[in-house]
Amino acid sequence: MDRLSSIFELREMLRQLERDVGLDRLSRTERDVLLAAHSLSVTPGAVVSSDQIRSHPLVASVTQATFYRAVRSLLGCGFLERATGSRAKSYTVRSDRIGDQLARL
């Protein structure tokens, strides 16, 4: 099997996984912001700052305006929540809502 075939198969498996949980309904930037924030959360409910998310390799090349549009959208969907008792631009990831909420989008 050549390398392009292997890459295609991996991408297709990833797309299927994203479809299975409903992530395919988010834009690519929204998906990347959500996944970056989740990867930075060491424990469920951990607080992640927008600066941490912005510096993640998945979203480092995204413009600031596009990044904040994606964050607003994820806040609206309930996948990110503003962290309580924390400074501005701090969020918690609600990965428990993946699947249920996306079905309603």
Which of the following CATH numbers is that of domain 3-104: 1.10.15.40, 1.10.10.10, 1.10.510.10, 3.20.20.80? 1.10.10.10
**Residue 104: what pLDDT?**
45
Q: pLDDT exceeding 90 applies to what percent of the chain?
A: 64
Domain spans, the chain: 3-104
pLDDT at position 82 over 60: yes
pLDDT at position 2 over 60: yes
pLDDT at position 7 over 70: yes
Averaged over 30-59, what is the pLDDT?
93
HSE toward the beta carbon, residue 97, CA cutoff 13 A: 18
> What's the pLDDT band for 99 if we cut at 50, 70, 90?
low
- Tokens 């979203």 correspond to 59
Contact (Cβ atoms closer than 8 angstroms) between residue 69 and residue 33: no
Averaged over 46-72, what is the pLDDT?
96
CA dist 94 → 44, 45, 71, 77, 99 (Å): 8, 7, 13, 10, 11
Report the distance separating Cα 91 and Cα 33, nearest Å.
12
pLDDT at position 100 over 70: no
